[in-house]
Structure formats: structure tokens, C-alpha cells
Amino acid sequence: MKLSDEYKELTWQGLWKNNPGLVQLLGLCPLLAVTSTVTNALGLGLATMFVLICSNATVSAIQQWVPKEIRIPIFVLIIAAFVTCVQLLMNAFTYGLYQSLGIFLPLIVTNCAIIGRAEAYASKNPLKQASFDGFMMGLGFLLVLIVLGGIREILGQGTLFDGADLLLGEWASVLRVEVFQLDNQFLLAILPPGAFIAMGFLIAAKNKIDAKLAEKAPKKANVEIERVRVNFDS
Amino acid sequence: MAYWIASSPHNHLQSKTSALMRLVIYATIPGILTQWYFFGWGNIIHISLAIATALLTEFTVLSLREKKVSEQLFDGSAILTAVLLGISLPALAPWWISVIGSIFAIAIVKQLYGGIGLNPFNPAMAGYVMLLISFPVQMTSWQPPLELMSVPLDFINTLSVIFTNFTYDGYSVEQLRTHIDGHTMATPLDTVKTNLTLGLTITESMNNIVIGEYVGIGWQSLNLAFLIGGVFLLFKKAIPLVTPLSFLGSLFVCSFIAFLISPDSNASTLFHWFNGACMLGAFFILTDPVSGATSIKGRIIFGALAGFLVFIIRKFGGYPDAVAFAVLLCNMSAPLIDQYTRPRTYGHK
């Protein structure tokens, strides 16, 4: 396989075909818990993506020296180290967001999507590809988080990018879009059950698109080998 | 000549789903009329809104799923869901409450799980719980009985409150709920619950104006009317006897034991039976053939569990009434109950 083909395949796998949020259904806990607004989703998605790239790169770089028997604890240690970095950075620079993400920031350590990529891809592949795979998987996860956060924020409180200044600094408060004015919050969309329902709809939509694509794809013609039947008796 | 050999049962009841649904809808009529007499037009408006939305949603989803629309649209199940939802809503809730509730009940609770006969939850109650969790303010602003209200409320004014939040003369829902002495009137269940946290005894709570002579003005008659409708259904053999019997029995046992232990902090059985959605739940919701248990033994357990949960949630929970929550929890446990109460086939162990 050519190198560019490999990158193409990694992109396709991470963003669509093997998307950690929609297909592997890994890391559901943060996915459902913090996506009540786009800002929260973006914050957690970026943090996860950063950890994923760094841990994939590290795991790939040290793969020769990791004994097979104790690889999982080592992966966990590496991931935990990067999560701690992210946590301290967010604590320092985006304190408001750090507070609203709460326990789900340190919980990135236990996100199965990260350790899954370390085990399944990074520990067997060279540094460049592993980092790229981390980036694409992280991006796929981030996109699902943002879409889910967008749906829930619009339904729940009728806004988009509410509190973006917590993540991006003072200027970002102009990003806040009031889609429509709601007198009451639609609490179901903000509470976790709403996340489950919205997630179900997202997965259904993805399957529907896949089915449509499969329908449109040119069907491989079954090449039948015709044999001439020869009847010698007649 | 060949004989046609059929296995038992040889005697078939030729009734259809739509006939059963129609019967249950007829049985709610005494309840709806009582509700109209004591609480005015609000619930009838909500029922009509809910029916219209439910039919529209059902039509949309059925055509999306490429089902036979004409057959399934008017089988009565969507209308019954809408009627039950409309009955259980607070009379002065805004119009979008019943619209969102019936869309959720039909599209998500019923059709997404496969349509009629396949829904694990009772659609009306799931819709109600969704509304209660999402819009707590609107869903707990219960209208007091007409005879206690300081502002008379006719059809036009009710319509105006539901669609604009204000009556024709400019009264808000909060003002309508206020008694002449300036206190907001709550439902009897809510009153007793609040009074208990304030340190009042049950006997003192019973002097509250919303309780009236027996266990709650309006609410007692409403529950009686649903009881009558339920007995009509029992006579028509539309619902099994054991479910409501075991539900009410279990509620009786729980409240009686609690009453014996501490009569000052536990309301009587009659109070529990004739308040809130008790009779509606017993005869119209728990007897739903789809989401309930199927065997006789299973139905007894199902009803008893519901009664126990209603008592526990009313007594210790955060919400004053509990029927909707109890029904959903029982719906969840119905498959397990069925698993362990499978009737023995004759000749098998």
C-alpha cells in the first residue's frame, strides 16, 4: 500500500467508517455527559484530541521497549500523564471551562477510545502514521461531540456557542448566536436522557446515509462463467 | 373428502384492536365530563390538541415507514394515547405542552420502537414524564377547582390562557391559582406533602380549603368517575380484573401499615386512592396490554409493584404524584416479571 493511500484510509476510518463516537461507541460517558453546549463539547473534544495525538505518538515511539505483558499499564500511565498536562493547562488558562467540565476532564484517562487506538494501531505502526491516526480519530470524536452539543444546545436553550468566551477568551463572546428565544429551557435536551436520544438519532442518520451510499455505489457485476452445455447423446 | 383439522382454541373472539380502543375511549368519558364540571374547559382543549397532533404525527411517521396509513392511523391507539395524555395534563398548561407531549409519545415512544404492539413503555405516561422533567413549572401549575377560584373561568378565557398565558381580562396562571386570601392553591397531594415538611399533621392538613369535606374537592369525584369507567371496562371484559385489584390492594396495604405506624404523618388509604391519577392509572394505564405483564400471576406482581412504588414515591419522593413514574418503572420490569411467571403448559414441568 502506498503511503498516501494509508493516510487516506486513516482519514476515512477516523472521520466516518470507524468513528469512535458513532461506530465504535467508545467514550460514551463524556460524550453524553458534557455535550449540553457546543462550548463544553469543543473543550472536551479538543482535550481528548490532544491526548490522543500525544499518547499515540508516544506509544508508537517506544513500542520496541515495551514488554508485551505489561503494555496496558504502560499505556494508561502515558495517557494519564498527558491528561494531567491538559488538566493543568485548562485549569490555568480556561478556568471557567475547567469548572464546567468538572470530573470529565480527568476521566479522559479512562476513555476507551484512546487506549483502544494505542493498543490497536499505535503500538504496531510507525510514529508518523500513529500520530496521524490519533489526529483523525480525535477529529472524528470532536465532530460528533460538536454536532451533539449543537443539537442539544439549540433544543435546550435556543442558543449556539453560549459561553464560548470561557474557552477562547473575551473576544469569543460575540460568537454567541441566539437561534430563537425560549421562555423555558427544554430540560430534557440538556439532561443526559436527551443526549441518549439525540445520539440514537445521530447513529440512525449515519446508518441511513451509509445505506444510501451503498445503494448508489456501482454494483459489481457478477461475472458468471458461462459454460456451453454439450449434450453428446442427442 | 379431507377434514380441516384445527388446533385449539376453537372459539375466537372476533373483536379488533380498534373496537377495544374505542371501548376504552368511551370509558374515559365520565372522567372527562367530571373533569369538565370541576375544572372547566382546559383538559378538553388539551385533549383535542393532543388528538390532532397525535394523528398528524402518526400519519407522518407511518408514511415515512411506508406502512398502511389508512389502516393503522384510525385503529384508535394514537387517539387513546392522546386522550390519556390530555386528561393527565394540568388544565392551564400552555398549548405547546400537549403538542410536544403527543409528538414525543407517538413518534419516539411508540413508532421508533416499532409501532403498535411493540412499545415497551406506555406512550401517554412516557410523554407525561418527559414533559414533567422538561418543563417543571408548567407541569406543576395545577388549576384549582372552579368553585374555589376567585376569578370565574369560562371557555374563552381558558382558551386564552392556554394560547397566550393570560385570560381575556389579563389574569396570569399564577393569579388564577391564587385563592381570595392570597395563597396559591395546590393539589391535595401537594398540599399534604408541603404541610408535612412544614411540620403540620395530616389532621391539620385536612382542614385545608382544597381538601374540602372528604379528600379533595374535584379530585375525589374525578377518581370516582374513572373508577366507574373502569368498572364499565371490567364488565365489558376489556381489561383484566387482577391488575387494578392488585394495584389498589397493594396501595391499601402500604398506606395502612404506614398509617398504623404514624397516623400523624401518613394520609389515609382513601386519600391515596381518590387523589391524583390513582384510578386513571389503575384502570386505564396499568391495564395497557402492550407494556404490562401478560400472565395472571405476572399481572398480580405487576400491579402490586406499581402500588408499592406509588406509595413510596408519594411518601418519600420529590414529586407529589407518582403514578406516571411507577408505571414506567413497572413497564421496565414487565419483561422480567413475564420471564419468571411463565404459566406451566399442561403436562410439562
Distance from CA of B112 to the nearest CA of A (A): 10
A184·B135 Cβ contact <8 A: yes
Query: Which residues make beta-bridge pairs with A177?
Result: A160
Residues of chain A positioned with their CB less than 8 A from the CB of B138: 184
Q: Looking at the domain assignment, is residue A229 inside a domain?
A: no
**Nearest Cα residue to B131 out of B108, B114, B158:** B108
Helix (H) or strand (E) holding A178, with range, is strand A177-178
CA A90-A96-A98 angle, to 5 degrees, is 40
How many whole angstroms separate alpha carbon B279 and alpha carbon B272? 10
The three grid cell numbers given for residue A225, joined into one nine-digit string: 462463467
Chain A residues with CB-CB distance to B134 below 8 A: 186-189
Domain of residue A34, residue span: 3-216
Residue A221 within any structural domain of the chain: no
Q: What's the gap in Å between the CA of A194 and the closest CA on chain B?
A: 10
Nearest to B133 among A184, A188, A197 (CB): A188
Q: Residue B3: is its pLDDT beyond 90?
A: no
Phi, psi of A233 (to 5 degrees): -75, -35
Name beta bridge partners: A178.
Answer: A159
Average pLDDT over residues B247-268: 90
How much is the pLDDT for A233?
65
- Min Cα–Cα distance to chain A from B98, Å: 14
Q: For residue A117, how far is the Cα from the chain centroid? A: 12
pLDDT, residue A231, reads 67
∠ Cα B29 B33 B38 (to 5°):
150
Segments in chain A below pLDDT 70: 1, 221, 228-234
A174 found inside a domain: yes
Would you say residue B59 has pLDDT above 60? yes
Q: Does B222 touch chain A (CB under 8 A)?
A: no
Spatial contact of A40 and A161, defined as CB atoms under 8 Å apart: no
**Residues of chain B positioned with their CB less than 8 A from the CB of A184:** 135, 137-138
Q: Which chain A residue has the Cα nearest residue B131?
A: A188
Q: Which residues of A touch B (CB under 8 A)?
A: 184, 186-189, 191, 193, 197
Q: Do A187 and B133 touch (CB under 8 A)?
A: yes
CB-nearest to B108 from A189, A191, A197 is: A197
Taking only the tens place, the pLDDT of each residue in B73-110 is: 888 889 999 999 999 999 889 999 999 999 999 999 99
Task: Give bridge partners of residue B184 from the DSSP assignment.
Answer: B178
Residue A31 lies inside a defined structural domain of this protein: yes
Q: pLDDT tens, B318-341?
A: 888 889 999 999 999 999 999 998
List alpha helices for A13-126, DSSP H. Answer: 28-33, 38-61, 71-93, 95-101, 112-120
Candidate from A184, A191, A197 with C-beta closest to B133: A191
The answer to whether residue A224 is domain-embedded is no
| Contacts of residue B20, Cβ cutoff 8 Å, sequence gap at least 6 | B76, B238
Q: How confident is the model at residue B14 (pLDDT cuts 50, 70, 90)?
A: low
User: Does A62 fall in a domain?
Assistant: yes
How many cross-chain Cβ pairs, A to B, lie less than 8 Å apart?
16
Burial letters for A53-66: b for 16+ Cβ neighbours within 10 Å, e otherwise?
Answer: bbbbbbbbeebeee
Residue type, B261: I
Please count the structural domains in chain A.
1
**Closest C-alpha among A28, A30, A7, A41 to residue A136:** A7
Q: Which residues of B touch A187 (CB under 8 A)?
A: 133-136
What is the model's pLDDT at position B204? 80
Q: What is the mean pLDDT of residues B158-178?
A: 82
- With cut-offs at 50, 70 and 90, classify the pLDDT of residue B48: very high
User: For position A49, what pLDDT does the model report?
Assistant: 92
The answer to the question of residue A234 being in a domain is: no
Q: Is residue A166 part of a domain?
A: yes
Mean pLDDT of chain B: 88
pLDDT value for A93: 87
Best of B108, B109, B134 to mutate (most A CBs within 10 Å, chain A): B134
Q: What is the pLDDT of residue A1?
A: 58
Question: Would the CB atoms of A191 and B130 count as touching at under 8 Å?
Answer: no
Give residue for cell 395546590.
Answer: B186
